[in-house]
Structure 1
Amino acid sequence: MGALDGRVAIITGAGRGIGREHALLFASEGAAVVVNDLGGGQDGSGADATPAQQVVEEIRAAGGQAVANGDDITDAEGAQRLIQTALDEFGELNVLVNNAGILRDRTLVNMSDEEWDAVIRVHLRGHFMPLRAAARYWKDAHKAGRAPRGSVINTASTSGLFGNIGQGNYGAAKSGIASLTTIAQLELERFGVRVNAICPTARTRLTENVLVAGKDGGFDADDPANISPFVAYLGTADCPIAGRTFYVHGGAVHLFQPWALIDKIETDHRWTVEELQKEAPRLAETPFNLGIPWA
């Protein structure tokens, strides 16, 4: 018996890297998987159906159920076709893993309009479109008296929640995804849907220049396969976690605390600029305990 027996999952960006590992593990745990991947380069250019189909063939060779899908998840009609693929092939949709992403790193003063728009489109719009299509299906299922026990796992990043030089476009999109996760949970819980997000650190095409494979034969903390077990757990029917964002790396799962009020200045009348010049500077000295694991 697998932890995901009977569950139907869509995983975007599942042709390579972390998404591929998600698809393989989900299938090994009994899920039927829609492997979505446009097959573009790490900057989003081009298209190639081969990676998604190869993952499907690998899953089927191991006795699992999978089908490839090459729709553009940033397109409303493409996202709807993606959801429909799961329904047509497997008769249900239980899990949506939004994982697809690209990079166009550049400092703000050097970033082009196209570099900004492309990253925001693939990450933020590419999360919204499948999420909206899945949410509409789950809303209708709930109204019809069915309970697919939907689960959404979004992919945010510490580049957004902690910040990273040269990734204003990527970080802004990823912070937006974390906020979208919080709001989607508030809206969709009435339909029996859980929405969570992860911020993974692993070696992929997007990070291979930074995270190099170790040679000592020990535990490889940067192996992308380390991320997938927690994602699979979040996708199980009875997982109680909802509306949370996690940092996942190696064998560690860290829970983020969302934005919180930690200090204030206050008066019983409207502030004057002169008063603020006297009182507000101490807010610049309030320490933040971000809990950055690698700090």
Structure 2
Amino acid sequence: MTAMSFDGRVVIVTGAARGLGRAYAMLLAQRGACVVINDLGVAIDGTGPSPEPAEAVASLIRAHGGKAIADHSDISTQSGVRSLVARTVEEFGAVDALVCNAGTIGYGTTPDKIEPDQFNSQLSLMVTGVGLLIGAAWDWLKRSGEGRIVLMSSAGGMFGIPANPYYTSAKGGVIGLLRGLAIDGAVFGIKVNAVCPLAYTRLFEGFSEDVAFNTWFKDNAKAEYVAPIVGYLAHSACEPTGRVFSSGLGHVSEVFIGLTAGWKQRAHSIEDIRDNFAQIVDRDGFAVPATAIESSATMFGDAPIG
């Protein structure tokens, strides 16, 4: 079978200086993409920013014959995303794909200690900033005719993790953004999907106090193992849209939201819910709606919808 080439494709990768983002950028460049390495260069302890991490990755790609530039725009701001897109177009003449990888995490926040500033800092980067970047690049993705957007969610955002309401809220918000964008992009040939990656990176350090586990995880959960699904979803040959995939430790699977057939009676009581609860939650014959309209179809039933 023919190799999947990115020759002539222009891809922006955010948070691309280290860890998962670096692995994505390196793979795309190896396959021929013109890659924009966007990263503020802020260390996990908050020091920085510094242009050096992004510049180092771009230089490495060029040293191996690839095409890459470094960009240090703050993608949590409107001015930052506009600058990033403008620089990409100035350098490479197009934007064909976005890999929205930039993110952060924090541990140990219980619900009784939730602070608005922490919500804002994570949402601004991982939800608002992603939306702003997509908005700034949208016209170029439409021009491409084969625009691709790869978002980063998390198992935490889908299934939950303890003591981290900020991160789980942001990564869960990515899924809502994904579903809407997939509908909006369909008419323009833009495919939008998300990946829930699992890899040992700087952000993972401190997650466990078990030294033996951390050693094993570092050896086996390499960022390079997640890069292929991201590469596939960023490729012009990618067909799915609006989908979520889990990847790590060499494993790839799909995560989806289903809807049970449920139970219906126009006027019903609390007791009716109790008495029919088993049917309401029966997952046999569940559906996977493509849109909110599809998910409401069984509710409308015999409604005279033209």
Match of 2:117 in 1: 114
- 1:42–1:103: 8 Å Cα contact kept in structure 2? no
Structure 2: gaps (5+ residues): 285-306
Please give the TM-score of this superposition, normalised by the length of structure 1: 0.86
Match of 1:7 in 2: 9
Q: CA deviation at 1:60?
A: 1.1
Q: CA deviation at 1:281?
A: 5.7
Does residue 262 of structure 2 align to residue 264 of structure 1? yes
Counterpart Cα distance in 1 of 2:278 and 2:253: 30
Match of 2:141 in 1: 138
Residue 139 of structure 2 aligns with an amino acid whose one-letter code is R
Match of 2:248 in 1: 249
Structure 1 pair 84/148, CA: closer, same or farther in 2 (3 Å)? Answer: farther
Report the secondary structure of 2:216's partner residue. coil
Q: CA deviation at 1:262?
A: 1.9
Please list the CA deviations of residues 27-73 of structure 1 after superposition, one character each: whole Å capped at 9, or x if unmatched: 11111110000112336664111111111111111111111111111
Please give the TM-score of this superposition, normalised by the length of structure 2: 0.83
The percentage of aligned residue pairs carrying the same residue is 32
**Higher RCO structure (Cα 8 Å, ≥6 apart):** 1
Query: How many residues are matched?
Result: 276
- 1:200–1:227: 8 Å Cα contact kept in structure 2? yes
Does residue 165 of structure 2 align to residue 124 of structure 1? no
Counterpart Cα distance in 2 of 1:45 and 1:181: 31
- 1:135–1:188: 8 Å Cα contact kept in structure 2? no
Q: CA deviation at 1:220?
A: 4.2
Match of 1:189 in 2: 186
- 1:7–1:94: 8 Å Cα contact kept in structure 2? yes
Structure 1 pair 160/43, CA: closer, same or farther in 2 (3 Å)? Answer: farther
Residue 182 of structure 1 aligns with an amino acid whose one-letter code is R
Counterpart Cα distance in 2 of 1:18 and 1:158: 15
Q: CA deviation at 1:263?
A: 5.4
- 1:200–1:248: 8 Å Cα contact kept in structure 2? yes
Residue 72 of structure 2: which of 70, 74, 92 is its match?
70
- 1:44–1:102: 8 Å Cα contact kept in structure 2? no
Residue 32 of structure 1: which of 34, 38, 41 is its match?
34
Measured on the aligned residues, the alpha-carbon RMSD in Å equals 2.4
In terms of fraction of residues, the more helix-rich structure is: 2
Match of 1:49 in 2: 51
Structure 1 pair 284/150, CA: closer, same or farther in 2 (3 Å)? Answer: closer
Counterpart Cα distance in 2 of 1:195 and 1:13: 19
Counterpart Cα distance in 2 of 1:285 and 1:2: 42
Counterpart Cα distance in 1 of 2:283 and 2:185: 35
Report the secondary structure of 1:262's partner residue. coil
Does residue 170 of structure 2 align to residue 173 of structure 1? yes
Q: CA deviation at 1:182?
A: 1.5
Structure 1: gaps (5+ residues): 142-146, 289-295
